[in-house]
Structure 1
Amino acid sequence: MTSPSAFLYRYTPASVGMVRIFASKSIEIRNRAKQTARFRSGPLGSYDILLDGKRALYATKRLMTPRHALPLAASLLLALIVLPASSRSAQTPTQQQNPGLPQVTKSREAKKEEAERAAARAAAHHFDRVLIIVLENVDYELAIQDKNLAALASQGASFSNFHALFHPSYPNYLAMVAGTDFGTHNRARYVADNQLNFPADAEHRTIADRLITSGLDFKQYAEELPDGTCPWNLSSQHVAQNRGNYVRRHVPFLSFREVQQKWCDRVVRVDSGSAKNFFVQDANKGLVAYSFYSPNMVHDGHDTSVTVAGAWVKKFLDETFPEKLRKGTLVIVTFDESGGNRDNRIYTVFLGDMVKSASQQDPAALGRLYTHYSVLRTVEDNFGLEPLTPNDRNASPITDVWK
C-alpha cells in the first residue's frame, strides 16, 4: 500500500510536462512553460484545483483515494491546458485575470467617465516643468508699482485678485507644497514661524510624494543653504535656522522627515555669488518637473525692499534662467504673504511660452479669486496628480490663461 507521503511521476502526452501524484493527498502537474496546476483535497470532502497558486476550480467530492488519482490527473491536465489558454486570450501583459471567477466588464457609462477623465487630464496639461519663485512680504499695490515686477506682469498672466492664506510666512510655505499648514498659523504669531519636523507618515505628505510616485521628480533650491552632509542632522530647529542670509522657514520641504530621510539630495544649495552654481548647472541640463526656488533674505526682499526683489527677479530671468532655457517651463513669481494687510492680496504672475501674452488675457479671468492652493491644484492637474488635501482639491485651478 502506498504511504501518504509517497508519490509517483507520470509523463503526459505531447509536450505538456510531468504529473506528480501524491497518494491520497494531492496531484500536481507542471508544464514546460513552468505553469503549475495542483489538486488540493480539503475538509468536508471538498477539493480545489489551483493554477499557479490561484484557485481555478472548486468542487465537492469525497476525499481522494488512490483509485481516483489518475482520473483526477486527467481533469487537472485539462485545467492546465485549457483554462490558462482561455485566460491568456483575454489578458493583456499587465492585467492578470482569474479564469475561474466571473469577469467584470465596464459599463458604457463607466467607460465614458474614464474617457472624460482622461480627456480632462489631457486638457489640463499645459507645461512640462514648473519653477516657483517666492518673494517676501509685500502688498499687491506696492509690488505692481515696482518697475521690474510691472514689466513681468506685462509679459504674461498677472492676477489682480490673488491672496496668500495666512500670516506669518511659514504657514504659507507649508501650504504651497502640502495643501495645508497643519495648523501652524493658529500658534501665537511670535512662534508661528518656528519650524517643525513633520513625521514621515500618511498624514504629512507633500507634492514631492505625488511626483515621485508618478515617476516625476522635484527639487528645492535654496540660496545660501549651509553646507552639510546628506542627510543633515536636523533637530526641531535647524542647526542653521538663521545663518547669514539663509532661513529654513523659507525652504518648506526641509520641514518633512520624509524629505530629510529619503530625498535630501533634492534640496540643493545655491551659491548666489557663483556663476556656475547648482541651479545654473541644472538649468542648462534641463530642470526636473517641479522646482521650488527660495532666494536668500536679501534677494527675496525680506531684509531689503520690493525694489531689490524686483531687480533680482529681472536679473535672474535675464541671466541665470534666460528665455532660451525656459521652453516648456512655467515660471511662477509670487509672494508668500502681503506686508500685513488683512486681505493678504499679493502679486503673482505666470510666465512661459504656454501662457498667453498680457494683451491676449481676459481681465475677468485674471480677476478671479485665487490662492496658493489654486497654484498647487493647477500643478497637480497639469501632471495628473491626486490632490493632497481637501484644501487643494476644492481650490479653483487656474484656467483661461493658456495659449
Structure 2
Amino acid sequence: MIRKRIFAAFAATLVTAGVVTTAVVTGSEETAAIQPAAATVPAFDHIVLVMFENKKYSSINGSSSAPYFNTLASQSAKFTNSFAITHPSQPNYVALFSGGTQGVTDDSCPANLGSKPNLGRQLIDAGKTFTGYSEAMPSDGYTGCSSGTYRRKHNSWVDFSNVPAASNLRFSKFPTDFTQLPSVAFVTPDMCSDMHDCSIGTGDTWLKNKLDAYAQWAKTHNSLLIVTFDEDSGTSVNQIFTTFTGAHVKVGSYSESINHYTVLRTIEASHGLPGIGNAASKSPILDIWQ
C-alpha cells in the first residue's frame, strides 16, 4: 500500500511536469514506464489530411459498418475526445484551413474570403507546397459551387484569393508515387464517398481503397495521414473520429481534448510555422510522437 501511494504521488508529480507516465503491473509489483512527450512535432516530408462528413464519434468507433476505420485506428494515434468547431459543414472546413470560421455560418456558396491568412499561403510563403485534391471536381482550378457530386463548400482553399489555382486539383491527380506529394495535401471525397449522401460502409471502403497504400507507406517514409470529420451528426457535443497514422506515431488511444484548431496548429508546427487565428492559442499535439 505504501509503495502504491508513493507511486501515485510520483506519477502525479510527473504529469504536472508535463511527462506522460504509464503504470505497468507485473504480479504484485508496480513500476513506472516514463514516456516524456516529444519536444516538437516531427518535421514530416508529407502530411495528407482527409475529411469525411457528418458522423458522430460513436457511429465510427468500434462500428461493424466501419471496419477499415477501426483497423486503421489500431495502427494509429486515435483521439477519443476530438471535436469539430460548429455546425454546419462549411465553417468547419474554413476553420481547419485558416484558424477561424471567417464569418462563415452556413453552407452558402461562394464564400469569397480574400487574402486572409491560411495554411496554404503559410506553406507557400515558407517555401513549402500545398495542394487540395477534390474528388468529382470537373476540372483543375474549378471555382464553381457544384458539379455532379462535387461541392465547393467542402473545398476551403478555393475560397482564398491568395492560394493559387494550381493548388486546387482534382483527386484524380493525387500521385501514385507518394514522393511527389506536396508538403501538405488536403483530400475531399465527393458527396457520396465522404458519407454525406451515402453509407458509412461506402466511405469506409473508399478510405481503404484510396488511401491505405499511402497510410502504410507513410510509416516508413517520414510522412503522416490524418483522418477526421468536419462535424458530427448535428448534436451539441460535436464529437468526431480522428486518427493520426504514420512515421513517429506511438500507437494508442489519447484522451486529451482536441479540435480542428489543434490539428491545424500541429500541421503548422511540423513545418515550423506560427499558429494563425485560433490555432495560435492552441498547443500542438506532442504526446503521440516517438
TM-score category of the 2 structures, normalised to the smaller one: 0.7 to 0.9
CA distance in 1, matches of 2:130, 2:113: 19
Which residue number corresponds to residue 256 of structure 1? Answer: 160
Instruction: Sort the Cα spacing of 1:402 and 1:325 in 2 relative to 1 into closer, same or farther, 3 A.
Output: closer
In the TM superposition, 1:318-329 aligns within 5 A as: 318-319=212-213, 321=214, 323-324=216-217, 327-329=221-223
CA distance in 1, matches of 2:246, 2:133: 20
Which residue number corresponds to residue 199 of structure 1? Answer: 114
Q: What amino acid sits opposite 2:42 in the alignment?
A: H
> How far does residue 152 in structure 1 lie from its aligned partner after superposition?
1.2
1:208 maps to 2:120: yes
CA distance in 1, matches of 2:208, 2:196: 17
Which residue number corresponds to residue 95 of structure 2? Answer: 175
Asked if structure 2 preserves the Cα contact closer than 8 Å seen for 1:139 and 1:347, the reply is yes
Instruction: Sort the Cα spacing of 1:177 and 1:247 in 2 relative to 1 into closer, same or farther, 3 A.
Output: same
CA distance in 1, matches of 2:103, 2:241: 25
Which residue number corresponds to residue 167 of structure 2? Answer: 266
Asked if structure 2 preserves the Cα contact closer than 8 Å seen for 1:127 and 1:354, the reply is no
Which residue number corresponds to residue 246 of structure 1? Answer: 150
Instruction: Sort the Cα spacing of 1:299 and 1:383 in 2 relative to 1 into closer, same or farther, 3 A.
Output: same
Task: Please list the CA deviations of residues 4-55 of structure 1 after superposition, one character each: whole Å capped at 9, or x if unmatched.
Answer: xxxxxxxxxxxxxxxxxxxxxxxxxxxxxxxxxxxxxxxxxxxxxxxxxxxx
CA distance in 2, matches of 1:381, 1:318: 25
CA distance in 2, matches of 1:122, 1:210: 22
Instruction: Sort the Cα spacing of 1:325 and 1:280 in 2 relative to 1 into closer, same or farther, 3 A.
Output: farther
Q: What amino acid sits opposite 1:216 in the alignment?
A: K
TM-score (norm 1): 0.59
Specify which of 282, 286, 289 is matched with residue 399 of structure 1. 286
Which residue number corresponds to residue 209 of structure 2? Answer: 315
Specify which of 52, 77, 80 is matched with residue 135 of structure 1. 52
> How far does residue 126 in structure 1 lie from its aligned partner after superposition?
4.4
Asked if structure 2 preserves the Cα contact closer than 8 Å seen for 1:171 and 1:193, the reply is no
Asked if structure 1 preserves the Cα contact closer than 8 Å seen for 2:68 and 2:208, the reply is yes
Instruction: Sort the Cα spacing of 1:193 and 1:328 in 2 relative to 1 into closer, same or farther, 3 A.
Output: farther
Report how many aligned residue pairs link the two structures.
250
CA distance in 2, matches of 1:129, 1:377: 16
CA distance in 2, matches of 1:314, 1:380: 27
CA distance in 1, matches of 2:197, 2:134: 16
1:374 maps to 2:268: no
CA distance in 2, matches of 1:369, 1:156: 17
> How far does residue 122 in structure 1 lie from its aligned partner after superposition?
7.4
CA distance in 2, matches of 1:222, 1:356: 30
Q: What amino acid sits opposite 2:259 in the alignment?
A: T
CA distance in 1, matches of 2:218, 2:73: 20
In the TM superposition, 1:143-158 aligns within 5 A as: 143-144=60-61, 145=63, 146-158=66-78
Higher mean displacement: 380-389 or 130-139 = 380-389
* Greater Rg by CA: 1
Asked if structure 1 preserves the Cα contact closer than 8 Å seen for 2:68 and 2:205, the reply is yes
Instruction: Sort the Cα spacing of 1:142 and 1:258 in 2 relative to 1 into closer, same or farther, 3 A.
Output: same
Which residue number corresponds to residue 295 of structure 1? Answer: 189
Structure 2: segments with no counterpart, 5+ residues: 1-37
SS in 2 for 1:308: helix
Task: Please list the CA deviations of residues 84-109 of structure 1 after superposition, one character each: whole Å capped at 9, or x if unmatched.
Answer: xxxxxxxxxxxxxxxxxxxxxxxxxx
CA distance in 1, matches of 2:149, 2:169: 16
Which residue number corresponds to residue 4 of structure 2? Answer: none
Q: What amino acid sits opposite 2:268 in the alignment?
A: E
Asked if structure 2 preserves the Cα contact closer than 8 Å seen for 1:148 and 1:314, the reply is yes
Which residue number corresponds to residue 331 of structure 1? Answer: 225
The Cα RMSD (Å) is 2.1
> How far does residue 254 in structure 1 lie from its aligned partner after superposition?
0.5
CA distance in 1, matches of 2:180, 2:288: 24
TM-score (norm 2): 0.81
CA distance in 2, matches of 1:324, 1:159: 22
CA distance in 2, matches of 1:253, 1:279: 16
Which residue number corresponds to residue 17 of structure 2? Answer: none
Which residue number corresponds to residue 217 of structure 1? Answer: 129
CA distance in 1, matches of 2:209, 2:100: 32
> How far does residue 337 in structure 1 lie from its aligned partner after superposition?
0.3
SS in 2 for 1:123: coil
Task: Please list the CA deviations of residues 126-171 of structure 1 after superposition, one character each: whole Å capped at 9, or x if unmatched.
Answer: 4222100000000100011222211111111010000000100000
Which residue number corresponds to residue 165 of structure 1? Answer: 85
Q: What amino acid sits opposite 1:269 in the alignment?
A: R
Which residue number corresponds to residue 279 of structure 1? Answer: 174
